[in-house]
Structure 1
């Protein structure tokens, strides 16, 4: 396509060869190969020279746009280029607040050509989106007691950890996990890891939890705890309502592990790399 465009501009294969530092034979062979690919002659004899056919002129006009698009794509994919483009990020609410929003502010200052689009999803939902290329980066989590089902194509970068405890009404006098064996339990509605941790801890304490409610929002979970509708896991260092107490749990203490997940081979795209650098630094 570049050969055809140069021929339309310079008028002779000899001049094209000189411009591109190749041979006239290579130019002729390249244009002949393009003609076979499109299925129509692109040049015709004009004395001792050649000229473009009508089809050649039309394709040469398209070549301008096509070559510009190729140059743009190469610049976009160049690992040395200034980051620019749209990065689609899926994340759970805590990671969006704690990691992504501060990184977005810094990214806008350092690389204004990068736009981040945020989608709130739980890890299992995010894995599906990542597999379909509907997102570029997933902020997910698992627990030390419920490891995530990483796939071979996942590239996982740890971000931070936070210890979890048992959220109970402040008025309750219970001190240990087993003290709530006869209570109703609240687990996550959109991810299985939370329930897996609850059932593991309950098994170690010698009971089977009666899971009654499945809630995604931590704020709503606290409302149910205050209303006496059940107990459930909550982060220890997260500010909670004054009428909710978060018990520290004995070993094995459940610990949430936040991660950034990419598909392998995608981390060198400049916009993603720039965002990842900020997430890890944060």
Structure 2
């Protein structure tokens, strides 16, 4: 009699999926609250169940084997089915539908409060949970199923990588302008070559794009200040201490403390929502997307 293959344990498949997304045992351990030794042990057990090696040495690191990549793809689909089953059962017993989103800081301030108001009217049983997070981190966590939707942005000529298994929905445009002190006489970006600048940290898409705008105007910006909190950028510009390059979405209140200058070509960044392809037909996620899009359309900086 042939041996019957034992079913894979979902918990171990989830660890394999996490490794496929994160790339190291240490990162999987940090994300799942297991110790690294426990993660390694569980993946070793999964390999014995699979009857083949799932990880192999690559110098000082480990990576997935071809069999590991194959099983990781199947693990992603199994996790999708598990997620869908839990969602349907929750709906059948009348439990509130929960949608978890990761939102970049400007959207968290400008869009989420208004979107919540719209959802209260349209989907009163829906529970929206939001975490403020950079687009780079949010998109990675979307793949690990930590979130159902991520609000992110991309700049002209700096499109974000398209990842298999993700769908994007455009929420709308967001103009980007220069912000300078109210008494600064500059009229365009070329006249700001000798000013100190405040930009976001190196390695971010917005930093790379902002530097390119300056180079197109004939200079490299003198970046003396860095920060992820755009409130700091606003205050530095308002004090006349630095030039900032800011999206209109940041202006949720009075912006009379700075003077705004249009960039050449009046560029806009695209605000989009990313979801897993497996959940794009979810009524709840679609409702959240629509509320965020309507919130952006209604945003009128003052």
TM-score range, shorter chain: 0.5 to 0.7
CA–CA distance in structure 2, aligned partners of residues 75 and 225 of structure 1: 50
Say which SS state the counterpart of residue 240 (structure 2) adopts: coil
Residues 93-172 of structure 1 aligned to structure 2 (within 5 Å): 93-172=105-184
- 5+ residue gaps, structure 1, are 1-36, 38-71
- CA-CA distance at 1:143 after TM superposition: 1.4
CA–CA distance in structure 2, aligned partners of residues 194 and 98 of structure 1: 18
* TM-score computed with the length of structure 1 as normaliser: 0.66
Partners of 1:145 and 1:200 within 8 A in 2: no
Q: How many residues align?
A: 215
CA–CA distance in structure 1, aligned partners of residues 248 and 290 of structure 2: 27
Partners of 1:83 and 1:111 within 8 A in 2: no
Indicate the residue corresponding to 2:277 in structure 1. Answer: 264
CA–CA distance in structure 1, aligned partners of residues 288 and 117 of structure 2: 11
Residues 219-258 of structure 1 aligned to structure 2 (within 5 Å): 219-236=231-248, 238=251, 239-251=253-265, 253-258=266-271
Which portions of structure 1, spanning 4 or more consecutive aligned residues, are displaced by more than 4 angstroms? 80-83
Q: Compared with structure 1, are the counterparts of its residues 280 and 229 closer, same or farther at alpha carbon in structure 2 (3 Å cutoff)? A: closer
- CA-CA distance at 1:250 after TM superposition: 1.9
Residues 45-124 of structure 1 aligned to structure 2 (within 5 Å): 73=86, 75-76=88-89, 84-124=96-136
CA–CA distance in structure 2, aligned partners of residues 75 and 131 of structure 1: 21
Q: Compared with structure 1, are the counterparts of its residues 77 and 176 closer, same or farther at alpha carbon in structure 2 (3 Å cutoff)? A: same
> More deviation in 108-117 or 193-202?
108-117
- CA-CA distance at 1:278 after TM superposition: 2.9
CA–CA distance in structure 2, aligned partners of residues 81 and 104 of structure 1: 24
CA RMSD of aligned residues (A): 3.2
* TM-score computed with the length of structure 2 as normaliser: 0.62
Partners of 2:174 and 2:247 within 8 A in 1: yes
Partners of 1:197 and 1:254 within 8 A in 2: no
